């Protein structure tokens, strides 16, 4: 697959698009002066403890208090020993705690945090508070998994844990060791700040959007990274030189280019905001986001097939499965997702559609879980939600129809 990353820097925003075989697959952006808080580490103060919810609210100095669930409050060491204390046994009001942002605040909710701090690098994730070695579940080759575990155990720093990332497939011992050393040095600087900074303050910033994209999105399938701004290009070059030298040959400066116009991305974004998405065959999807979950309906539409009804249904559902995986990434849809594929009477066809859906979701960096087909013939799945959906970021409820429709925000990002 041919992948191209477009980095467009504008006066107010930095916008990034991932193209897969010339089709828009993902969108990311952030305000240049603001940035994302996911991955940030704060020295917080416990505001209140709620035993009935098994959670606590942590004041980290932001507009809204952060939410700390008991599973994220228990130290990993206790989890491994099978000890599951109550939230009231772990935290007390007024207590200082070190927390890291897991998810941005969505709607009226504050950000979600964890006490189990991690520092991601290009090859590994460092867990400075636990002694553990793990490998990404996405690495399925057992031989490669064993090799990586052996390498990790040799380069592991005593008292610190590491998780080998999917990007580490094929990486050698020197590359993993260098990544771990960089992360260890970063942790030492964070500890120094913790001792100096007052409560309710930021002690570590998780990195700019461009750094996160280089670290988390880029893999061997990405052929080019095109950048329209010289300063950003130099920053990316320096990051690659320190963390991933082979990446430098894929960086291309195209100063002043307007990728959004050149690749007609605005039209693709407008399509992704519509409930109906057409398939090439003539079938279509209807995607409806609700507060509780997202519902996707598959229809044959204009496609009438050539042989028989079952073959028509099978082909439509297979095409829909691939497109659904793309739309979930493009629209940044998370949480519970229910898919109503067209009814299939052949068991092997049902399994084939599930297999294609799971295979297509392998390209998605966000964790997904396809649970299977219910007795009603619906496919249930989940996708980890780490930020607002495309619709909620770019549009708002219409004031003229009591929120039944949505209109562009007054200051649209696109």
Instruction: Give a yes or no: residue 104 inside a domain.
Output: yes
Rounded distance, CA 240 to CA 249, Å?
Answer: 10
My answer on whether 387 and 273 are in the same domain is yes
- Cβ atoms of 345 and 353 within 8 Å: the answer is no
Q: Name the residue among 25, 129, 61, 122 with its Cα closest to residue 366.
A: 25
Instruction: Give a yes or no: residue 62 inside a domain.
Output: yes
Instruction: Give a yes or no: residue 11 inside a domain.
Output: yes
Q: Name the residue among 55, 28, 58, 64 with its Cα closest to residue 41.
A: 58
Query: 224: phi > 0 → left, psi -120 to 50 → alpha, else beta; which?
Result: beta
Instruction: Give a yes or no: residue 297 inside a domain.
Output: yes
Could you tell me whether strands 23-31 and 119-120 are parallel, antiparallel, or unpaired per DSSP bridges? unpaired
Instruction: Give a yes or no: residue 183 inside a domain.
Output: no
Q: Which of 58, 90, 114 is the last residue of a domain?
A: 114
What's 154-169 look like in SS3? HHCCCCCEEEECHHHC
- The confidence score (pLDDT) of residue 188 equals 94
User: What's the total number of domains in the chain?
Assistant: 3
My answer on whether 223 and 332 are in the same domain is no
SS3 226: strand
Question: Residue 244: which residues within 8 A CB-CB, separation 6 or more?
Answer: 122, 214, 218
My answer on whether 307 and 370 are in the same domain is yes
What CATH number has the domain bearing residue 228? 3.30.420.60
pLDDT tens, per residue, the chain with 414 residues: 889 999 999 988 899 999 999 899 999 888 876 677 889 999 999 999 999 999 999 999 998 999 999 989 887 666 666 678 889 999 999 999 999 999 888 767 889 999 999 999 989 999 998 888 999 988 889 999 999 999 999 999 998 999 999 888 888 999 999 999 999 999 999 999 998 999 999 999 887 888 888 888 888 889 999 999 999 999 999 988 888 888 899 999 999 999 999 999 999 999 999 999 999 989 999 999 988 899 999 998 887 766 778 888 999 999 999 999 999 999 999 999 999 999 988 999 999 999 999 999 998 988 899 999 998 889 999 998 877 788 888 887 777 776 667 777 766 565
What CATH number has the domain bearing residue 66? 2.40.50.140
Tokens 């979600």 sit at which residue? 112
Instruction: Give a yes or no: residue 127 inside a domain.
Output: no
Buried b or exposed e, range 307-320, using 16+ CB within 10 angstroms: eeeeebbbbbbbbb
| Residue 275, CA distances (Å) to 20, 186, 285 in order | 22, 45, 8
Q: Could you count the other beta carbons within 10 Å of the beta carbon of residue 300?
A: 20
Q: What is the pTM of this model?
A: 0.83
**Whole domain around residue 234: which residue ranges?**
1-35+208-263
My answer on whether 16 and 110 are in the same domain is no
Q: Is the dihedral of CA 325, 329, 335, 339 positive or negative?
A: negative
Instruction: Give a yes or no: residue 410 inside a domain.
Output: no
Instruction: Give a yes or no: residue 131 inside a domain.
Output: no
My answer on whether 257 and 274 are in the same domain is no
Could you tell me whether strands 222-227 and 3-9 are parallel, antiparallel, or unpaired per DSSP bridges? parallel
My answer on whether 362 and 259 are in the same domain is no
Rounded distance, CA 102 to CA 384, Å?
Answer: 11
């Amino acid at each position: 697959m041919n992948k191209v990353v477009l980095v467009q820097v504008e006066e107010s925003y930095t916008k990034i698009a991932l193209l897969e075989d010339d089709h828009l697959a993902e969108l990311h952006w952030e305000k240049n002066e603001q940035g994302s808080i996911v991955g940030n580490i704060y020295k917080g103060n416990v505001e209140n403890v709620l035993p009935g919810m098994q959670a606590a609210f942590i004041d980290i100095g932001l507009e809204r208090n952060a939410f700390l669930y008991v599973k994220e409050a228990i130290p990993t060491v206790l989890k491994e020993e099978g000890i599951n204390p109550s939230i009231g046994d772990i935290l007390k009001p007024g207590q200082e705690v070190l927390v890291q942002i897991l998810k941005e605040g969505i709607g009226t909710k504050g950000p979600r945090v964890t006490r189990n701090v991690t520092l991601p690098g290009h090859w590994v994730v460092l867990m400075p508070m636990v002694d553990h070695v793990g490998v990404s579940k996405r690495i399925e080759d057992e031989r490669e998994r064993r090799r990586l575990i052996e390498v990790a155990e040799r380069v592991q720093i005593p008292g610190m844990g590491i998780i080998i990332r999917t990007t580490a497939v094929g990486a050698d011992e020197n590359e993993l060791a260098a990544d771990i050393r960089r992360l260890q040095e970063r942790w030492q600087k964070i500890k120094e700040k913790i001792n100096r900074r007052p409560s309710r303050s930021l002690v570590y910033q998780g990195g700019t959007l461009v750094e996160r994209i280089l670290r988390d999105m880029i893999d061997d399938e990405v052929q080019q990274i095109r950048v329209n701004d010289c300063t950003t290009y130099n920053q990316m070059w320096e990051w690659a030189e320190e963390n991933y030298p082979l990446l430098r040959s894929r960086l291309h400066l195209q100063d002043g280019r307007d990728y959004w116009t050149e690749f007609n991305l605005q039209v693709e974004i407008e399509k992704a905001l519509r409930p109906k998405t057409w398939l090439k065959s003539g079938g279509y999807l209807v995607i409806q986001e609700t507060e509780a979950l997202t519902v996707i309906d598959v229809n044959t539409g204009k496609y009438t097939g050539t042989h028989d009804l079952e073959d028509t249904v099978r082909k439509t559902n297979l095409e829909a499965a691939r497109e659904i995986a793309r739309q979930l990434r493009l629209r940044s849809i998370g949480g519970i997702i229910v898919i109503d594929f067209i009814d299939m009477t052949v068991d092997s066809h049902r399994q084939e559609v599930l297999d294609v859906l799971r295979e297509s979701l392998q390209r998605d960096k966000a964790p997904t879980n396809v649970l299977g087909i219910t007795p009603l013939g619906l496919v249930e799945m989940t996708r980890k939600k780490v930020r607002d959906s495309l619709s909620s970021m770019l549009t708002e409820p219409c004031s003229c129809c009591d929120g039944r429709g949505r209109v562009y925000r007054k200051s649209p990002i696109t």
